[in-house]
Amino acid sequence: MTDRRLDGTGARAVRISEGDWAAVLEGNGGVLFSDGWKDMLGYAQDGAGDSLDEWSSLVHPDDRPRVMADLQRHCCGETPTFSTEHRMRCKDGSYKWVHDRGKISSRAPDGGSLRFLGIQADVTARKQVEDALRRSEERYALVERGTQDGIWDWNILTNEDYLSPRWKAMLGFTDDDVPNHADSFFSRIHPDDVPGVHEALRAHLDHRRPYNIELRLRHKDGHYRWFQSRGDAGRHWPTSPHDRLYQRHHRAQMA
């Protein structure tokens, strides 16, 4: 914990921890930064400036209007806290994603802001993971739109399911007709095929044997139709092999 003081009219002493930054919105509108805040962005002890304008200049230009508007709304009392994720420019010119959270801790009798205290956390690693996941989902969507197969993505731990619109259409349903749940698949398997499906799934999940079978699924009209079902657990997802099963179904050509 370190003590820092702002010079100028009405400035007050503020104690800030290594992970905090503090803005004293009075007098000269100075800003106090902790040593940890400066280290996060690679600035020397006197290299980050001490005004709100200098702080805002470090916010990525694409994020700045939103961030400053959010801060202004909080200072005007329109929101109980200030919380935003945005990019901040480092000393070397690169940008880091940060999560800024703060609150006006002191107001003047007329309601004006006297002091704002905030915490900034580096969330770059999480943002990179989210971006990689988004790109993966976009590629997944492109593959799905470009195939005639029906896609079945089963979360084994939660029993949540994703059944693509194409999968549902192959059985005569619209996207809204069938809930995205594992039972929507298992309940439509022909009774004579159920033991074989369960055996194939268990062999794949327990022993990594290929999952590639033919089975009958009940169509909306009540009749059963043959399908080729191929799947793989784990390879397409950043989870353990037993967390998810990704399958593709297409109509089987039966003699």
Express each pLDDT in 101-110 by its tens digit.
Answer: 988 877 778 7
**pLDDT reported for residue 1:** 28
Domains, the chain: 2-122 (3.30.450.20), 148-251 (3.30.450.20)
Among 66-70, 113-117, 136-140, 176-180, the range of highest mean pLDDT: 66-70
Q: Is the pLDDT of residue 5 over 50?
A: no
pLDDT in tens, 46-83: 677 778 888 899 999 999 999 999 999 998 889 999 99
**pLDDT reported for residue 20:** 58
pTM higher than 0.75, yes or no? no
pLDDT-wise least confident of 40-54, 132-146, 212-226:
132-146
**pLDDT reported for residue 152:** 80
**pLDDT reported for residue 248:** 65
pLDDT above 90 coverage of the chain, percent: 34
pLDDT in tens, 111-125: 766 778 888 889 999
pLDDT-wise least confident of 145-154, 162-171, 232-241:
232-241
DSSP string, the chain: -EEEE--STT--EEEE-TTEEEE--STTTBEEE-HHHHHHHT--TTSS-SBHHHHHHHB-TTTHHHHHHHHHHHHTTSSSSEEEEEEEE-TTS-EEEEEEEEEEEEE-TTS-EEEEEEEEEE-HHHHHHHHHHHHHHHHHHHHHHT-SSEEEEEETTT-BEEE-HHHHHHTT--TTTS-SBHHHHHTTB-TTTHHHHHHHHHHHHHH---EEEEEEEE-TTS-EEEEEEEEESSTTSSS-TTTEEEEEEEE----
